[in-house]
Chain A
Amino acid sequence: MCGIISVIDRLGNNMNGESIKKALSLMNERGSGEGAGYAVYGAFPDLADYYALHLFYDNLIEPKGAVEELLKKWGKIEHSEEIPTYSSGRMLKKHIPWRYFFKPDTSLFASTESLEEDIIISLTTKINTEINGALVYSSGKNIAVFKASGWPEEVADFYRIQDYEGYLWLAHNRYPTNTSGWWGGAHPFNLLDWSVIHNGEITSYGTNKRYLESFGYKCTMQTDTEVVAYLSDLLGRRHELPPEIMVKALAPPFWDEIDEMPEKERKLYTALRMAYGPAMMNGPFAIVVARPDYIAGFTDRIKLRPMVAAESGDRLYISSEEAAIRTIEPNLENIWMPDAGEPIIGRLRR
């Protein structure tokens, strides 16, 4: 099951976390109280030039020491703080959430091609695979992620997300099967600029994972959703595909449809499927992928999971359920059910 909701204000006006919490809680039927999470873009305007590394620590001794030693070795920590939390419902504080505002030192790397982003990915992979008791769960600039085990309202109150503001929100209500109750397993998944919320199960996981590994990504979260973030990073950032084309690579049109397309499009889509066949995702899913400049919602090619989109003024909403959107905005101008595989893209216009 799982319930998802996302909203972007296309003019970049801020919204606080209050209404998204209500919208997500409305879909409690889709969750099991074992995981919920939120992501907000534009959360740290004063530190927007630094990568906001979010970590779960099991304790503040060994893992924290090891992480900080690593970060100081490879760059500069501008600011470090425990993420404020508050007691909430029946929630247990299993981990200590911490965030660093960090800038890697690119001069320390041999390759001239090494971008800051690649350094962040390699540090994240290193921490997540080699340092026990530390997990990086978010690493983007100006992006905050809040997740834990619990019902949506419990997790929201645990972090007091109403205290945060941003122009783009993602939220996810989890019904876990793979990793129950693990904080790291809750969505959104984040990697650099990318955040992902996902309802479904990716049956092509093995193929996608092996494809990503050949580009140097390592899957460490024990769940299929992280491949969406890595695939987005590979196709959208490293290969520079525009969002509508990237989505078509991940959930492509059927060959029968491609065969009927005009010449130029047919060539493009044939090439897309040939080059990115192993990136194609199969199985039931409804996904929203976010970057600082857009959100893109799409479903699998035969729409085995629900997705509804709506507009009101400058805001675009994507959700599992219409009722959740109406909790935020009862007066919608437009509401529609996108076709299978058809991307819904909301771009920032500022």
Chain B
Amino acid sequence: MTTGATPPRYKISIDNDECMLCERCIDNCSYGVFRREGQKILVDSHKCTACHRCIAMCPRDAISLEEKPNDYRSHPLWTREARETIYKQANSGQIILSGMGNALDYPVIFDRLVLDACQVTNPSIDPLREPMEIRTYLGKKPRQLSLEKIRESDYELKTKLSPNLMLETPVMIGHMSYGAISLNAQLSMAKAVSELGTFMGTGEGGLHKSLYPHQEHMIVQVASGRFGVDIDYLERGAAIEIKIGQGAKPGIGGHLPGEKVEADVSKTRMIPLHSDAISPAPHHDIYSIEDLAQLVRSLKEATEWKKPVFVKIAAVHNVAAIAAGIARSSADGVVIDGFRGGTGAAPRVFRDHVGIPIEAAIAAVDEKLRQQGIRNEISLIASGGIRDSADLTKAIALGADAVYIGTAALIAMGCRVCGSCYRGLCPWGIATQKPELVNRINPEEASKNVSNLIKGWTLELAELMGAAGINSLESLRGNRDRLRGYMLDEEMMKVLDIKAIGA
């Protein structure tokens, strides 16, 4: 190999004074970093992914990790990543795969937005003492109501409502398929959403039997590979979501490596054992917006118009017009996935370079739908890099009805964002199908962690709303007057339709 070995990205060292040779690090590291020779634990730092499993499990805090111990000669253009990608491709001739979300250093718009609070002229509302309404309905809404007068001050509703999902918190968990993640990970999240009165997506992996008890809180996905889709699957879901694209890899299909397709996954997905599950880039029955409208209608017909149908697209440059097209179909909601959205496996060049951030996409879609007078008739679900209750609150103030979280829910179950999901060796039992690793998640405990996270965010959302003098989520949605831009350029503030701080 003419390029030689690249320096390790992480360096693991062991404090031998502290180490008691319990070998927990050896047991826990699925990447094979540790081995024992005589009275010593030796390490192969090259194999380390910085997943922190060893550090979390070491009873003596004897392990330390250093990032980039041997750096290259610094250069502003030829960064370490640029050089190492070249070494990798010079050796493999392949597309470089990566996991998790966009890893380039783009400015985070959420961090340049600040929220408002009341002082004097209007009182803030204390959620501990006053009602605070977080409930949200997702689905088609009537443009106006028609009523019939029965007698004085007694009216009956004449308008027929479309089925909606009722959420007790505007936080849902996005689509991460069985296959990409483990059944225990899915089960933990499913328990959490059932308990909280919200929903999660199945991803394009079918619906495993053990999730049936939670099916009323599951949104079943129909993606371009149609994996796992049959009428039973559609009927079990609370709602159906057509996946056109994903924020981490707009314009291309899904990719589940064959190593992750073991028996149960293959059965649930309805594909052969150990075959790579490659969903095509487009749906082969959707080559235009009218084809999409047909698929929406077919799914509606198949389920007797009893379930909301959402359409998920990646946030790309023209996202607003595409969303407006979707809104004209029978679809009940549009899901926009920003370019920071996570993934189990995506070509790095897509993950890092294609698409736009969710903040701008929400603003553009909300605005376009308003201009066309149809915003309130369709729901807008935002996803892709929502990290905390502040991001959630800002997303709603920009115009989202609800958000999907993905990575945040995984982190709540232990994920350290090491970005090696595509390798199927996740030591936290999340992005793996190896039974010994999957068993590291106890769904009872992990579901508690996930529901704690969403509960915490919901409490913080209520506090932020109360401070802003708002006691119902409807009055926060699209309320961009309660946002200000801090060090955002004028063009960006125009897109977001917000004022600068002090203005």
Residue positions of A touching B, CB distance < 8 A: 177, 200-201, 203-207, 209-211, 213-215, 238-242, 244-245, 254-256, 264, 267-268, 270-278, 280-284, 301-302, 304
Tell me which of A213, A270, A271, A282 contacts B470 (CB under 8 A). Answer: A282
- State whether B376 touches A271 (Cβ < 8 A): no
Q: How far is the CA of A240 from the CA of B145 in the complex (A)?
A: 9
Question: With contacts A239-B145, A271-B161, A275-B142 known, is A256 near B474, CB below 8 A?
Answer: no
Q: How far is the CA of A200 from the CA of B469 in the complex (A)?
A: 12
- State whether A301 touches B121 (Cβ < 8 A): no
CB contacts under 8 Å to A, within B366-413, are 369-376
Nearest CB on B from A59, distance (A): 31
Residue of chain B at shortest CB distance from A272: B145
Interface flag for B232 (CB, 8 Å) = no
- State whether B144 touches A271 (Cβ < 8 A): no
- State whether B471 touches A275 (Cβ < 8 A): no
- State whether A203 touches B144 (Cβ < 8 A): no
Tell me which of A205, A271, A283 contacts B142 (CB under 8 A). Answer: A271
Interface flag for B482 (CB, 8 Å) = yes
Interface flag for B217 (CB, 8 Å) = no
The 10 closest A-B pairs by CB, nearest first: A206-B481, A204-B475, A277-B474, A282-B475, A206-B479, A203-B469, A201-B122, A214-B370, A239-B144, A207-B479
Residue of chain B at shortest CB distance from A178: B121
- State whether A268 touches B475 (Cβ < 8 A): no
Interface flag for B125 (CB, 8 Å) = yes
Question: With contacts A245-B155, A278-B478 known, is A200 near B122, CB below 8 A?
Answer: yes
Q: How far is the CA of A272 from the CA of B478 in the complex (A)?
A: 19
- State whether A282 touches B370 (Cβ < 8 A): no
> What is the interface size of chain B, counting residues whose CB is below 8 A from a CB of the partner?
47
- Write 28 A-B pairs (CB below 8 A) sorted by A numbering: A201-B122, A203-B468, A203-B470, A203-B475, A205-B479, A206-B478, A206-B479, A207-B474, A207-B476, A207-B479, A209-B481, A214-B370, A241-B147, A244-B153, A264-B157, A268-B157, A271-B159, A274-B141, A274-B164, A275-B143, A275-B376, A277-B376, A278-B478, A282-B469, A282-B475, A283-B122, A283-B469, A302-B125
- State whether A274 touches B137 (Cβ < 8 A): yes
Interface flag for B123 (CB, 8 Å) = yes
- State whether B122 touches A214 (Cβ < 8 A): no
Not counting A214-B371, A245-B147, a sample of 10 additional A-B residue pairs whose C-beta atoms are within 8 angstroms of each other reads A204-B474, A206-B480, A242-B155, A274-B137, A275-B142, A277-B141, A282-B471, A283-B122, A301-B131, A302-B130
Interface flag for B259 (CB, 8 Å) = no
Question: With contacts A205-B481, A207-B474, A254-B131 known, is A275 near B144, CB below 8 A?
Answer: yes
- State whether B149 touches A242 (Cβ < 8 A): yes
Q: How far is the CA of A280 from the CA of B474 in the complex (A)?
A: 7
Residue positions of B touching A, CB distance < 8 A: 118, 121-123, 125, 130-131, 133, 135, 137, 141-147, 149, 153, 155-157, 159, 161, 164, 369-376, 468-472, 474-482
Q: How far is the CA of A273 from the CA of B166 in the complex (A)?
A: 13
Task: Determine the chain A residues whose CB is within 8 A of the CB of B479 once the complex forms.
Answer: 203-207
Q: How far is the CA of A278 from the CA of B373 in the complex (A)?
A: 13
Q: How far is the CA of A280 from the CA of B480 in the complex (A)?
A: 16
Residue of chain B at shortest CB distance from A214: B370
Nearest CB on B from A204, distance (A): 3
Task: Determine the chain A residues whose CB is within 8 A of the CB of B374 once the complex forms.
Answer: 214
Nearest CB on A from B467, distance (A): 10
Residue of chain B at shortest CB distance from A267: B157
Q: How far is the CA of A206 from the CA of B156 in the complex (A)?
A: 31
Q: How far is the CA of A112 from the CA of B329 in the complex (A)?
A: 27
Nearest CB on A from B326, distance (A): 17
- State whether B161 touches A282 (Cβ < 8 A): no
Q: How far is the CA of A281 from the CA of B472 in the complex (A)?
A: 9
Q: How far is the CA of A47 from the CA of B167 in the complex (A)?
A: 53
Residue of chain A at shortest CB distance from B139: A274
Nearest CB on A from B43, distance (A): 55
